[in-house]
Structure 1
Amino acid sequence: MWFKNLLIYRFTRPFSTSLEELNEKLSAAAFHPCSSQEQSSYGWSKPLGDAGSEYLHAANGCVMLCVKQQEKVLPAAVVNEVLDEKIREIQEADGRKPGRKERTDMKEEIVFDLLPRAFSRSRKLYAYIDIEAGLLFVDSASHKKAEELLTLLRETLGSLPVIPLKAKNTAQHCLTEWVAGAAPTGFELGGECELRDRADETAVIRAKNQDLSSEQIQSHLQSGMFVSKLAMTWTGGIDFVVDDQLSIKRIAFGDLIRERADDINADTMAEQFDADFSIMAGEFAKFIPAVIAAFGGEEVEEGAA
């Protein structure tokens, strides 16, 4: 359950839906397995799985949500193999080659026939709302997957007034400044960064396990390259990578944080989930303000999604 990535969104209006109403609306849009002819299914799942009875889990003013997606796995090579065989049969029987539209129709028919026998693949995506802070956190490195979750939550609630969390200062300028000079207060630079050329952003240099203060790295910056991704450590006990979109990835919690969770004598999976969630959310409540402060504070915008 410990988040490995963070995409963060700011509520432009206070989140006022009660837990009872929220649970009711989530359950109305609950996940159901794919039927024989469905290629995918997407809906809300219980964060605690079989150990829970609700479609949310609340702890210390935060509300955990979980979405589940199931997809039928139907490899294109399998479909194309069957299609090629049918085309050969038509050529041998009628002496003609099917046109584009006929081949498209045949392919759709093949998919329809094969779907009931296809394997299913499922994945879960977690997110939580910090009601007091007015923030929504999604455990994803993919903006597309996060937007899918937001779209479902918007449809479930009727509206979702959120915008991506933004900082006052340009992220790439800050990241470049830190590598060229020194990390902001409360942070340390890691040994990894990604550099891009201002004249051609397709030109990329990725440095791993490097001393970022080295002459080689500094010469790239002096030649006009900028830092688009940077590994850092928050002295509160979190290692992470942040990019120029303020996406936070590859989060690793320090031993002291993990030990606090391990020291809790949880008798059930539900109790352990609650403890882990409470500790994680508590750490993020300190970590995220520190990150935003390092980028010059939060840029406040009016509007809703």
Structure 2
Amino acid sequence: MADIVTQAAPAKINLALHVTRRREDGYHDLESLIVFADLCDELEASLAGSDSLIISGPFGGKLNAEPNNLVLRAVSAFRARWPELAPRGLALSLTKNLPVAAGIGGGSADAAAALRMLAGLSPVPIAVSDLSDLAAGLGADVPACLLSRPLLARGVGEILSPLQHFPGLFVTLVNPGVAVATADIFRRLRAHDNYPLPALPDPLTRPAQLGLWLAETRNDLEPPAIKLVPEIGIVIEEMAQTAGCILARMSGSGATVFGLFGAEGQAHDAAAQIRRLHPDYWVGTAPLLGAGN
């Protein structure tokens, strides 16, 4: 292998998220349109005698490198599944650029990056289906993050339908710096049997098509999250008022809010406006990764 190998861990955004059923095992069936932004954590690795992890970056202080860290769990799970294909040890370095417990993938994206890295280092190809099965054992969002492209997710997140077409769009993300536990949001969810997502236009190639479709959808986790963290609702209203905003909504279980835009300049202007209103909030803007990624 090269002296150092790298993998990006892009931010995951739930453009729409419907909770359709509470299962007997206590989990929930969901339907979600998921996209990924060109805003990433970064994972680097080099060969070593044993596994180790160093975490740095703007949000590195929010995490620790103990064995239960999702990156190390992903490496351990890969090695247990394919012991003959994994390096003996990896010195890993994670640059944490994205907020933690923010509804944008976070640890799941980092774990997926570790799996992609190990699959790339394997001397023989590993089937995507096998890698996805392993990813599902690490967390509900890890299989989607493994693909990091526009897709529909169903079940608890393990049933994935990648989209063949998706319009070029830009996103502005805002996080108020309040960590939200997913379990707390689900405990406050009033309805567990909401209707599923409407059928997507096919082919989905124009921003206007997506905007009309999104107008018929929701994030069912948004109302309980706003009750828990009122700042989320304030940012949604502020984002919705920015020029050219197609949709302002919370991603995942929060507290990150996204604004969706058809033009890069509009997304940057919205980011600047939110920064003026909330100089202490984390704000990022980037293009969405397309269907070909």
Q: TM-score range by the shorter chain?
A: under 0.3
In our comparison, the structure showing a higher alpha carbon Rg is 1
> Which has the larger share of helix?
1
TM-score (norm 2): 0.26
